[in-house]
Amino acid sequence: MTTLSRVGHTLQRTAWQAVPTVLGVVVLNFFLLQLVPGDAADVIAAESGSATAETMAQLRTHFGLDLPLLDRLLAYLNNLAHFHLGTSPRHNQPVLDLIGGRLGSTLLLMVTALGMALAVGVLLGTIMATWVGQWQDRVLSVLALLLYSTPGFWLGLMAIVLFSVKLGWLPTGGNLTIGAGLTGWALVKDAARHLVLPALAMAGFFVAIFSRLTRAAMLEVSHQDFVRTATAKGLSPAAITLRHVLRNALIPVTTVAGMHFGTLLGGAIVVESVFSWPGLGRLALESVLARDYSVLLGILLLSSLLVIVANMLVDLLHAWLDPRIQVR
Amino acid sequence: MTTFANTPQSRFLRLIRASSQEKPVLDAFSPVPVQRHAAFWAYARNPAAVTGIVILLVVAGLAVLAGVIFPNDPLDMATRPLLAPLQSAEFPLGSDSLGRNVAAGIVHGARVSLAVGLSAATVSVLIGILVGSVAGYFGGRVDDLLVRLTELFQTVPTFLLVIVIVAIGQPSVKVIVLAIGLASWPVIARLVRAEFRSLRESEFVLAARSQGFSDLRIIFQEILPNALPPVIVTASVLVATAILIESALAFVGMGDPNVVSWGSMIGEGREQLRTAWTLTAIPGAAIVFTVLSLNLVGDGLNDAFNPRLRGLR
């Protein structure tokens, strides 16, 4: 089977498997959110300071909150099929626009953090596996265990204390210097400076996971026959590590990276609130506190979709990387 | 049972069950002979694991004795605000912006963190065992359905789900425990299902079936005890994760407002990050130490239960 057809088959299979999960997520979240005490009309009434029973009824009719449960679910599914995620009563703006406006900055943060974690984690894991049992391995193992036990938001706060308050190197929050009116290269540099600390805070936990995983996978792979063959034919240790051991060890690492995509999204909620990062996580937190159903539902749906897509990408990557992985 | 106790057949069955039960699955292909209490000694010889259990016992001791060491409400004002640490013998860790004793907060916070961690992990383990054992034991359509359900809960980001459930209930310790438990059972369910699938066809289960034991009895008395070691390892990690989730929840202001929690102390200390960063650092360090000890215990248990790894470290 060629690589292309293998990847094609994998795509077909994973896409087909994702359908019931997506539907399940929609229905689950919808019913979950129906249980919330108080609806968006209550919140609007409370914020405006006064509301008559007629105004409340009018608000509920306007947003379709007074329809029977099943009708609301069907209406929601119908809207979904037309890519309408509803309108946020709080912001009086389509949910898709709201989410779309925040999605970019969250994805930027997540991809940066994941990339950082993968690079550092695989590097540390390779060092640990190469000097297994020696002081490098022990020191890095302790470091990994410490990072594994540290809450990301606290890591971020401590990084602010060190790099922003004490050293004054990096900004404490936001994603751009407000009102600076920067363009071109200066803008990119400014954005990068704002990105470092939140990405660091999110990456810490994953550096620990990836380094431990890389270490374990490399130790396992290094006992395989093909590594002995590579040694026997006289390849240099560096070439064996990079081309034979590490490449095979990357398969479990990418699997776990896909599995933890949801954890990364969850971590984004807290880290974004530490760094006042204008992303999806903060939007989610704001909409929970404002009881803004449709926005929250949209974010839940979207983040679940992101998790599914991330796992599909990992499957495709595996099908491409390793011909032994067969289409089931 | 007593009437057949001495027939050769029942003795034979007891032999099969006894011999298969004494060997946990992980030992099945092990070249190391299984000794009595081998797991215990493997654990006791592992310095990292012993360190973990010592830290954990200290934290647990503080949590239990919180009311004796600091009998006053940790949320009450005790001294002048923003007293720096190591300035006063009475308030070794200083005070926060409202003059509350930080040391008392840490000790009482240990109570909340450990209680939430342990109870949330218990909830996840119970749900996970129920779903995993039913799916793994019965297979077929039930299995398909439960696997789908597990996947569903694994797809939704855990922290987001916890936030939603806490928003539905109120931010009380009970609701937080339930929320964390409800959001983190899939790991256990997958583990238990895999164990049940591999043990379902083993000889001692066959023997139990031929004796006419009910499904319920086979699940809980025959298979489950053999499937437990990996569940215990994962449960210790779940406690750690639950403590981290609770602290994050309290940090963003969705914790129980009536109890002092390490996460809420960080959230309040954050306001003084520029002037009094220790208010943020101290409760965070408490979280790191506690979670670290649980992870060390988990790693130690994993190595102790898995004899193939015993010689490697």
Q: pLDDT value at position A246?
A: 78
Q: Could you tell me which residues of chain B have a Cβ less than 8 Å from any Cβ in chain A?
A: 148-149, 151-152, 154-161, 163-165, 167-168, 240, 244, 247-248, 251-252, 254, 263, 266, 270, 273-274, 277, 280-281, 284, 287-288, 291-292, 294-296, 299
Contact residues, chain B, for A35 at CB < 8 Å: 168
B101 in helix, strand or coil? strand
Cβ–Cβ under 8 Å, residues B62 and B107: yes
Beta bridge pairs of residue A93: A88
B82-115 pLDDT, tens digit per residue, is: 667 767 666 676 777 776 777 778 888 888 889 9
| Residue A294: per-residue pLDDT | 72
pTM recorded for the entire structure: 0.82
Given a cut of 50, is residue B24 above it in pLDDT? no
Q: Which chain B residues are within 8 Å of A262, Cβ to Cβ?
A: 154-158
Per DSSP, the residues of A13-63 read HHHHHHHHHHHHHHHHHHHHHHTSSS-HHHHHHHHHS---HHHHHHHHHHH
Contact B281 A158 (CB under 8 A): yes
Q: What is the largest CA-CA distance in chain A?
A: 85
Read off the pLDDT band of A180 (50, 70, 90). Answer: low
* Residue B120 reports pLDDT greater than 90: yes
| B35–chain A nearest CA distance, Å | 27
- Name the residue with higher pLDDT: B16 or A117: A117
Tell me: pLDDT of A89 over 80: no
Q: Which helix (H) or strand (E) is A145 found in, with range?
A: helix A135-148
Q: What is the mean pLDDT of residues A69-73?
A: 77
User: ipTM value of the model?
Assistant: 0.81
pLDDT > 90: what percent of chain B?
Answer: 10
Q: How much is the average pLDDT of A246-259?
A: 79
Examine the pLDDT at B126 and tell me if it is beyond 90: yes
Q: Between B98 and B310, whose confidence is greater?
A: B98
pLDDT tens digits for B147-204? 888 888 888 888 888 888 887 777 888 899 999 999 889 989 988 998 888 888 888 8
pLDDT given at position B6: 39
A288 vs B contacts (CB less than 8 Å): 163-164, 167, 254
pLDDT in the model for residue B83: 67
pLDDT for B19 equals 40
Mean pLDDT of chain B: 78
Q: What is the mean pLDDT of residues A278-291?
A: 82
User: Which residue, among A149, A150, A167, A301, would best test binding to B if mutated, counting the most B CBs under 10 Å from its CB?
Assistant: A149
Can you give the pLDDT at residue A328?
42
B31, pLDDT greater than 60: no
CB contact (8 A) between residue B160 and residue A265: yes
Q: Assess A173–B contact: CB distance below 8 Å, yes or no.
A: no
Nearest CA in chain B to A289: B167
- Out of B81-90, B114-123, B134-143, least confident range: B81-90
Banded model confidence at residue B277, pLDDT cuts 50, 70, 90: confident
If pLDDT is split at 50, 70 and 90, which confidence band does A228 have? confident
Residue with tokens 């360090």: B285
* pLDDT of residue B25 exceeding 70: no
Average pLDDT over residues A109-127: 89
Question: How far is the C-alpha of A291 from the C-alpha of B90, rounded, in Å?
Answer: 44
Q: What is the mean pLDDT of residues B238-263?
A: 87
Nearest alpha-carbon partner for A291 in A52, A88, A77: A88
Six-digit token pair at A180? 């600076």
pLDDT of A65 strictly over 80: no
pLDDT of residue B131: 92
Q: What mean pLDDT comes out for the span B215-225?
A: 85
Task: Tell me the torsion sign for CA atoms A35, A36, A38, A43.
Answer: negative
**What is the percentage of chain B residues whose pLDDT exceeds 70?**
81
Q: Which of residues 299-318 of A touch B (CB under 8 A)?
A: 299-300, 303-304, 307-308
Q: What are phi and psi of B146, to 5 degrees?
A: -70, -35
Chain B interface disruption, residue of A138, A157, A269, most B CBs within 10 A = A157
Rounded to whole angstroms, how far apart are CA atoms B311 and B288? 30
